[in-house]
């Protein structure tokens, strides 16, 4: 067991402690639905998971993953996470956690990537929709073309959040080559 968990595993550990049965959670980048399934198991049948992705194949594989695991308390949208605010109805707010796993869908079209143009508006929406004590987790991948610019924009966004309302933590390997992935966690204080 390594002393330092991988960034995504640390995100899971922290989210596990925070999320309660009955909570509402969002996976803002569904991909293959691993994070959505993780969240669905935490919120339980009294809670609900909402998911967003722009690729039909991502919705298909994520829905299949939920069905294979007997999960029915979810709703996935084939639209960008920048439309999160207009898709979420009052009855499903506020959110306990919003997960962003940026970049491209592994084993698929690597030209379809998240970009700062939509990620930053989505992050701002998530801040609004989050409850006090809620959390946004963001896996940043600066190692691919476009991911460097996006990661920089997201880090700058996070650095500039007002300290009286948000707490921001950054975690990643600091002495590795090729711009390794890192995790940003934003806790909403009030």
Ligand X SMILES: C[S@@+](CC[C@H](N)C(=O)[O-])C[C@H]1O[C@@H](n2cnc3c(N)ncnc32)[C@H](O)[C@@H]1O
Residues that bind ligand X (CB under 6 A): 29-35, 52-55, 58, 80-82, 101, 103-105, 112, 114, 118
CB of residue 28 vs ligand X: minimum separation in angstroms? 6
In this complex, which beta carbon is closest to ligand X, that of residue 107 or of residue 175?
107
The closest residue (CB) to ligand X is: 31
Length of the chain: 190
Report the run of H or E that residue 148 belongs to, with start and end: helix 147-159
As measured in angstroms, the least distance from the Cβ of 59 to ligand X is 9
Q: How far is the CB of 162 from ligand X (least distance, A)?
A: 26
Looking at the Cβ atoms of 83 and 92, the one nearer to ligand X is 83
Least distance to ligand X, CB of residue 69, Å: 13
- Smallest gap from residue 157 Cβ to ligand X (A): 15
**Residue 166: strand, helix, or coil:** strand
Nearer to ligand X, 96 or 105 (CB): 105
| Closer of 77 and 134 to ligand X (Cβ) | 77
In DSSP notation, 77-144 reads EEB-GGGHHHHS-GGG-SEEEEEEE-SB-TTS-TT-B--HHHHHHHHHHHHHHEEEEEEEEEEE-TTS
Distance between CA atoms of residues 22 and 149, nearest Å: 37
Q: Which of 126, 110, 117, 128 is nearest to 185 (CA)?
A: 126
């Amino acid at each position: 067991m390594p002393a330092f968990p991988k960034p995504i595993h640390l995100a899971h550990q922290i989210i596990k402690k925070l999320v309660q049965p009955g909570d509402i959670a969002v996976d803002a980048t569904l991909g293959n639905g691993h994070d959505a399934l993780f969240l669905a198991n935490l919120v339980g049948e009294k809670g609900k998971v909402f998911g967003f992705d722009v690729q039909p194949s991502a919705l298909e594989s994520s829905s299949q993953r939920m069905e294979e695991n007997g999960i029915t308390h979810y709703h996935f949208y084939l639209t960008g996470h920048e439309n999160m605010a207009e898709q979420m109805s009052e009855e499903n707010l506020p959110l306990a956690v919003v997960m962003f796993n940026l970049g491209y869908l592994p084993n698929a079209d690597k030209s379809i990537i998240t970009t700062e143009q939509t990620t930053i508006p989505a992050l701002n929406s998530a801040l609004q929709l989050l409850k006090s004590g809620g959390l946004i987790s963001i896996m940043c991948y600066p190692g691919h073309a476009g991911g460097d610019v996006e990661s920089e924009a997201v880090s700058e966004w996070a650095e500039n959040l007002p300290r009286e309302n948000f707490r921001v933590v950054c975690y990643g390997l600091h002495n590795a080559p090729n711009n390794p992935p890192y995790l940003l966690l934003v806790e909403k204080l009030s």
